[in-house]
A and B are shown apart, each in its own frame.
Chain A
Amino acid sequence: MSVLVNKDTRLCVQGITGGEGTFHTSQILEYGTNVVAGVTPGKGGVLYNGNDRDSFCRPVPVFNTVKEAVEKAEANTTVIFVPAAFAADAIMEAADAGLKVIICITEGIPVNDMMKAYAFVKSKGAVLVGPNCPGVITPGEAKIGIMPGFIHKKGSIGVVSRSGTLTYEAVHQLTHVGLGQSTCIGIGGDPVIGTRFLDAVKMFAKDDETEGLVMIGEIGGSAEEEAAEYIKKHFKKPVVGFIAGRTAPPGRRMGHAGAIVSGGKGTAEEKIKAMEAAGIHVVESPADIGEAMMKALGRS
């Protein structure tokens, strides 16, 4: 098993003919992910092969709507590379078409739009990952997003993180110490996101293949504390954690829209305290994630 995506994933790429969409679809195809459809309104009927800069290893049929991609190509999962001004609409279109796994990579979506899309997705019973995230990968089965595939290795450690490159860092270390990954989920750095730590932790709890979990948070919000509360009571597998931003000053936004300590809330200290109280092995340095997991599993 694994969570969210696997070899049975039949992927639709929304915004496939755009620059970002084309480049990353070429990488997604190369990884071996089963891409069955692309969607770009107005370009339906085309068999898309990429552009001059990034060509595909095999063509992908393009449809005008997600509904068509579901009906004609039996897509069951979608990844969104649509520009920020139209991305919330793309999320809602996917949910309306009945897709149950929606992964949105787009950065910079207005909060007002995301609140509506979030509520809509919930009402349709779908799972949204992101936005402003690297995506989801089940190594050896499906890469859905912008992460470098080659640093991953099939295995039994789940990874969930608010950050992109910091996730790659953790995965790289895990692979380096010989620990493969079951599934890695980048949940994104925005204040409104579809899948929170708690949702991801629950998924990994049910996954037999996952033996341990790496959870990488950062300052801002209280999603880490929420997940720690659950882990304390219900999650029986070893968890290694890291919180980025211990040295970040309050009141300043650190790149991600959601990474800000405001009104004394969302500090790294609070999060670390809650995680340690839940039995999570919190590392001080992000350089120690791989080794800490080996230790937590009793293998070093």
Chain B
Amino acid sequence: MNIHEYQGKDILRKFGVTVPKGIVAHSPEEAKQAAEQLFEEQTSPVVVVKAQIHAGGRGKAGGVKLAKSPEEAYEIASQMIGTTLVTHQTGPEGKEVRRLLVEEGMNIDREFYVGITLDRATSQNVLMISTEGGMEIEKVAEETPERLLKIQVDPLFGLQGFQAREAAFFLGLEGEQFRSAVSFIMSLYKAYTSIDAALAEINPLVVTKEGRVLALDAKINFDSNALYRHKDFLELRDITEEDPFEVEASKSNLNYVRLDGNVGCMVNGAGLAMGTMDIIQLAGGKPANFLDVGGGASPQTVEEGFKIILSDKNVKAILVNIFGGIVRCDRVAGGIIEAAKKIGLNLPVIVRLEGTNADIAQKMLDESGLNLIAADGLKDAAQKVTEALSA
């Protein structure tokens, strides 16, 4: 699960990670009030108005602007709210700006990068430190690996002081700045593990001329498997940032990802679902979605699955691929026929069922009088998709 920058900063603040003072605004008036309050308390001559969307690269897209007065903050906010920002992470459709974060300005001395995430190669968390603040870390790793320090953290012992010191020395910090950075990194790691984050990325981490060390930006993703022990975080979910079809599918416990092709698919199991998408492409079509209906493939899930696939008007044909195994295929076929009748399905549906009673299932589909085309094996299924598309 992803959250907004301001929500991430609120969480980090609770763990003692230093972040700038900031106020959320949903309208130009609120932005103006926020700026007034900040100008009263700060010494910097500017405040920063930042669009809150679930994507990086906002600065380049015009989603981060400086205001010298509350009036200017009002102006910027009225331009920003309601516009669609397109960044390298939003996709071409972009994301609509609905809220802003107004923050105190900083006298920035230097900018760095600090990130924590799982290193899949070692099954440990890795603390990443880079002198290149504001850069994409993948790019730094590729082009200037000497400017990136990776520190593996033993999950049984956690991040140790000497590791945080090594990180701060790597950034070339001294004195008060060094001490603040060490404390910042230790707090960040504590926050990361306590909240079951999957990613904590501070880019940039800034050191001010006054010697403060702060998270100018914060990207926090949660491990969705661990959300059961952080019920309060569920309130942070912003479904306006998510694909409405995927939100609908998740209500029926379906794992759905919408794509831009013309052949829908419904499959049991994530790996087989990806494999089925690949087969559709090889058969001359383009997958319209990823959809894993889980092991059981009950009549209800099959019906919900069809509904979601059909909500996409680009779909010209559907491939159902269920490897039943322990589940009986005649039952799955019964569910498909029932659902097809109920929804009034009239697109060609190629159905491949494997497992117990697959032969009975095929016969049921053939005799259903519906546009259900039984396929015998994956190869046959692929061929029938090709035929359906050219018909």
A interface list, Cβ under 8 A from B: 27, 84-85, 108-116, 118-120, 146-148, 150-151, 161-169, 172, 189, 191-192, 216, 218-219, 221-223, 226, 242, 244-249, 251-259, 263-265, 284-288
Contacts of B257 in A (CB 8 A): 252-254
Contacts of B290 in A (CB 8 A): 248, 252, 254-255
Interface size (B, Cβ < 8 Å)? 57
- B308 to chain A: closest CB distance in Å? 15
* Cα A246 to Cα B272 with chains together (Å): 12
Q: A284-B282, A285-B279 are in contact. Are A115 and B125 (CB under 8 A)?
A: yes
Q: Give the interface centre of A219, A226, A255 by most chain B CB atoms within 10 Å.
A: A255
A265 touches B138 (CB 8 A): yes
Contacts of B136 in A (CB 8 A): 263
A242 touches B275 (CB 8 A): yes
Chain B: interface secondary structure?
mixed
Give B323-380 interface residues, CB cut-off 8 Å to A. Answer: 323-326, 354-356, 377-379
* Cα A263 to Cα B199 with chains together (Å): 13
The 5 closest A-B pairs by CB, nearest first: A163-B271, A255-B270, A165-B269, A148-B325, A110-B226
- A/B interface sample: 12 pairs, CB < 8 A: A85-B229, A111-B223, A112-B193, A148-B325, A166-B271, A192-B118, A219-B274, A247-B274, A253-B257, A255-B292, A256-B270, A263-B136
Query: B224 — nearest CB in chain A belongs to which residue?
Result: A257
- B94 to chain A: closest CB distance in Å? 15
A165 touches B125 (CB 8 A): no
Give B129-177 interface residues, CB cut-off 8 Å to A. Answer: 136-138, 154-156
Contacts of B282 in A (CB 8 A): 284-285
B interface list, Cβ under 8 A from A: 89, 118, 120-121, 123-125, 136-138, 154-156, 193, 196, 198, 223-226, 228-229, 255, 257, 259, 267-275, 277-282, 286-287, 290, 292, 295, 323-326, 354-356, 377-379, 381-382
- A274 to chain B: closest CB distance in Å? 14
- B344 to chain A: closest CB distance in Å? 29
Contacting residue for A119 out of B121, B138, B156, B259, CB 8 A: B156
* Cα A257 to Cα B277 with chains together (Å): 18
* Cα A286 to Cα B225 with chains together (Å): 29
A246 touches B124 (CB 8 A): no
- B53 to chain A: closest CB distance in Å? 15
- B260 to chain A: closest CB distance in Å? 9
Q: A168-B325, A285-B378, A286-B279 are in contact. Are A161 and B154 (CB under 8 A)?
A: no
Query: B246 — nearest CB in chain A belongs to which residue?
Result: A252
Contacting residue for A161 out of B123, B226, B271, B356, CB 8 A: B271
Query: B55 — nearest CB in chain A belongs to which residue?
Result: A251
Query: B354 — nearest CB in chain A belongs to which residue?
Result: A172
* Cα A298 to Cα B228 with chains together (Å): 52
Q: A151-B325, A169-B323 are in contact. Are A218 and B274 (CB under 8 A)?
A: yes
Q: A189-B270, A191-B118, A242-B275 are in contact. Are A111 and B225 (CB under 8 A)?
A: yes
* Cα A150 to Cα B89 with chains together (Å): 46
B325 touches A147 (CB 8 A): yes
* Cα A70 to Cα B354 with chains together (Å): 39
B277 touches A248 (CB 8 A): yes
A287 touches B225 (CB 8 A): no
Query: A244 — nearest CB in chain B belongs to which residue?
Result: B274
A285 touches B382 (CB 8 A): yes
* Cα A165 to Cα B325 with chains together (Å): 8
Contacts of A164 in B (CB 8 A): 269, 271-272, 295
Query: A245 — nearest CB in chain B belongs to which residue?
Result: B274
* Cα A169 to Cα B156 with chains together (Å): 39
Q: A118-B123, A148-B355 are in contact. Are A286 and B155 (CB under 8 A)?
A: no
* Cα A214 to Cα B226 with chains together (Å): 33
Contacts of B138 in A (CB 8 A): 263-265
Query: A111 — nearest CB in chain B belongs to which residue?
Result: B223
- A115 to chain B: closest CB distance in Å? 4
Contacts of A286 in B (CB 8 A): 272, 275, 278-279, 378
Q: Beyond A111-B118, A166-B274, list 15 extra A-B contacts (CB 8 Å).
A: A109-B225, A110-B226, A112-B223, A114-B123, A119-B124, A150-B356, A168-B323, A169-B378, A191-B120, A242-B275, A255-B292, A284-B278, A286-B278, A286-B378, A287-B378
B278 touches A247 (CB 8 A): yes
A192 touches B225 (CB 8 A): no
* Cα A189 to Cα B96 with chains together (Å): 33
B269 touches A257 (CB 8 A): no
Contacts of A284 in B (CB 8 A): 278, 282
- A193 to chain B: closest CB distance in Å? 8
Contacts of B278 in A (CB 8 A): 244-247, 284-286
- A284 to chain B: closest CB distance in Å? 6
Contacting residue for A226 out of B121, B224, B378, CB 8 A: B121
B155 touches A248 (CB 8 A): no
Contacts of B271 in A (CB 8 A): 161-167, 189, 216, 218, 244, 255-256, 259
Q: Give the interface centre of A150, A165, A172, A244 by most chain B CB atoms within 10 Å.
A: A165
- A199 to chain B: closest CB distance in Å? 12
Contacts of A114 in B (CB 8 A): 123
Query: B259 — nearest CB in chain A belongs to which residue?
Result: A249
Contacts of A113 in B (CB 8 A): 226
Query: A249 — nearest CB in chain B belongs to which residue?
Result: B259
- A150 to chain B: closest CB distance in Å? 8
Contacts of A147 in B (CB 8 A): 325
Query: B243 — nearest CB in chain A belongs to which residue?
Result: A252
* Cα A115 to Cα B278 with chains together (Å): 32
Contacts of B270 in A (CB 8 A): 163, 189, 218, 254-256, 259
Contacts of A192 in B (CB 8 A): 118, 120, 123
* Cα A216 to Cα B286 with chains together (Å): 22
Contacts of B120 in A (CB 8 A): 191-192, 221-223, 258
Query: B323 — nearest CB in chain A belongs to which residue?
Result: A165
